Amino acid sequence: MVGIINYITIMIILVLGLLFYHNYAMLILLIIMALLPVFSNICAYIVSKKVNVKLEIDQISVAKDYDIHLKIKIDNPTILSSDNVVLKIKVYNAFYNNDEIFTMTVPASAKEIRQIDWKFRSKYCGRIIASLEAVKVKDLFKVFTFNSCAKSEAEIIVMPNSIAVNNSFNMLSEGEGEQNEVQYRKGSDVSEISEIREYIPGDKLQSIHWKLSAKQDKMMVKEYGMPFTNEFIIVPELYFDGENPQVLDNIFDNMYSIAVSFLENRRQFYLGWLNVLDEEIIYQKVETDIDIAIIFKQLFYAKLQNQPEQTKNLVTSLGRIDGKSVVYIGKAVAKCFS
């Protein structure tokens, strides 16, 4: 609006000057000023069709509330310059499904690739996507706007914070005795017999307890326990109510911190989560801090639960997963199932 007011003011001055002075120079200047909006529109249109904008993030991951460095590269291959290129950038947390829109006006110099370094932060962890929603080129007087078809996006993983946690979950070998260590489910570990019962058609012949069967004059079979292990699977509750991301964010902080603590103490453990499509816990082994970062990135691609305590109910019913103790992390609780 300021530009158009200034333009009209100059035109009025030139017209009045021409009326009073009848000067050829004044006439030529008036004609140039009259044609300037047309020329400005043509230039803005050409730039809008040729300009390219690209977003880049060199960082792979960053902690919450730390600077994320976004590089905005504006490539104008034309011989025309524009100081009125308007960028609309959306910063989107794909995990919590929330976003924020930023608008900025940048120059696009002729035959030049200009880079602008822009910093922003994320309050919550997750998979953060910066996407170019719109590129608009305005004319010199900011009256007319032309849209560019440039599209780009950049992604970064925002990791949880490390906080003080309880990491005193006992390994099985650290228990208080055979009776208090583990409630074994039925399995196939021949080193541990959980019970002896009567034969049922379909039982394996290898499970028959021949000596006891001979004494009792009926077929008796052995039930075996799950394999002995000192390994843990850390599993979070992946439920988000759509309103308060802080709850799930705290769960991630606890999960990450326990994982770091286990790694420092050289415990054998896995990170896992509930696959809601198959109703099963999937997990991967952790041996280095790089493994933690990789697994968290995969976790941030996972589908969230649609019901609260869905993971807790599954873990409670299983007790142990593949013979491994489960460290369940829910809202304000970290509990070991073994």
pLDDT tens by residue, 254-302: 999 999 999 998 889 999 999 988 889 999 999 999 999 999 999 999 9
Q: Is the pLDDT of residue 179 over 50?
A: no
Residues 6 or more apart in contact with residue 112 via CB below 8 angstroms: 76
Task: Quote the DSSP letter at residue 19.
Answer: H
Determine the pLDDT at residue 4. Answer: 67
CA 52 to mean position of chain CA atoms? 27
Q: What is the pLDDT of residue 336?
A: 77
Domain boundaries, the chain: 1-159, 186-225, 232-337
Q: In whole angstroms, how large is the CA radius of gyration of the chain? A: 34
Average pLDDT over the chain reads: 84
Is the model's pLDDT at 173 over the cut of 70? no
Q: What angle do CA 271, 277, 281 make, to 5 degrees?
A: 25
CB 308 within 8 A of CB 243: no
Q: Give the Å distances, CA to CA, from 16 to 21, 22, 28.
A: 9, 10, 14
Range scoring the smallest mean pLDDT among 118-122, 179-183, 197-201: 179-183
pLDDT at 197: 84
Q: For residues 322 and 67, what is the distance between their CA atoms, to the nearest angstrom?
A: 41
Architecture of domain 1-159: Sandwich (2.60)
Judge whether residue 175 has pLDDT over 50: no
Would you place residue 217 in the very low, low, confident or very high pLDDT band (cuts 50, 70, 90)? confident
Tokens 């050289």 sit on residue: 266
Q: How far is CA 155 from CA 54, 99, 134, 152, 286, in A?
A: 13, 14, 18, 11, 24
Beta bridge partners of 189: 225
pTM above 0.75? no
d(CA 71, CA 106): 13
pLDDT at 337 over 80: no
Across 142-172, b (16+ Cβ under 10 Å) vs e yields beeebebebebbbebbbbbeeeebebebeeb
Q: Which residues pair with 273 in a beta bridge?
A: 282
| CA atoms within 13 A of residue 129's CA, in its CB half-sphere | 15
- Whether pLDDT at 192 is above 60: no
Residue 27 is predicted with a pLDDT of: 67
| pLDDT tens column, 5-58 | 666 676 676 666 666 777 777 666 767 667 777 888 899 999 999 999 999 999
Per-residue tokens: 183:
């409630």
Q: In the predicted model, what is the mean pLDDT of residues 306-323? A: 89
**DSSP characters for 200-240?**
-TT--GGGB-HHHHHHHTS-EEEEEEPPP---EEEEE--B-
**pLDDT score, position 228:** 46
